[in-house]
Structure 1
Amino acid sequence: MTTGHAARTLTHPYARREPVLALDFGATSVLVTTRGPATVEDLEFARQLAREASRFARSLERSLHGLADGTGVAA
């Protein structure tokens, strides 16, 4: 899947159940949630996802604002 003008992310928190993370790519959506009550493994996965998303964003910032060799400084 690729990003574009129709791509977005949303978190749907619920008072009586686990949250849902929605990744929308126009006509395609991916929903991320747990199988039941949250576990330590679920939390670790969420933290991994956040770390990798942050790395992805920094890499894109370097591509957009950086030097041709990718050594630019993230905004």
Structure 2
Amino acid sequence: MTRRRNHRVSIINLNTGRGARATSHPYPTRTPVLALDFGAVSVLVTTSAGDLVTAADVDFARQLAREADQFARSVERSFHGLPNGQGVAA
């Protein structure tokens, strides 16, 4: 990840677990929406405008995909699939 240029004002921590899911919603007449659901909290990731896609939107989508893939690989590596289904940190 690249270094942030501005200071963080706040951090929201959304934990995965039962009920957490990510869903892509491609629409034929508008730009796609990525929904991240964490129980009672939903985060919608959209492009900068509902009717067009910019080069910055494409760059962000590619970065998001790379980082999500890295996150998934790290989680898989950390999970050892114990019989109790809990796993342990590597």
Name the TM tier (shorter chain): 0.7 to 0.9
Q: Which has the higher helix share?
A: 1
CA RMSD across the alignment = 1.8
1:20 corresponds to 2:28: no
2:77 corresponding residue in structure 1: 62
Residue-pair matches, total: 69
The 3 A distance-change label for structure 1 pair 69 and 18 is closer
Task: Give 1:1-75 correspondences, 5 Å limit.
Answer: 1-36=14-49, 37-65=52-80, 70=90
The 3 A distance-change label for structure 1 pair 35 and 4 is same
Q: Which runs of 5+ in 2 are unaligned?
A: 1-13, 81-87
Structure 1 residue ranges, 4+ long, deviating more than 6 angstroms after superposition: none
Query: In 1, are the aligned partners of 2:26 and 2:33 still within 8 Å (CA)?
Result: yes
Offset at residue 34 of structure 1 (A): 1.2
Larger relative contact order (Cα-Cα within 8 Å, sequence gap ≥ 6): 1
Offset at residue 61 of structure 1 (A): 1.0
Q: Which runs of 5+ in 1 are unaligned?
A: 71-75
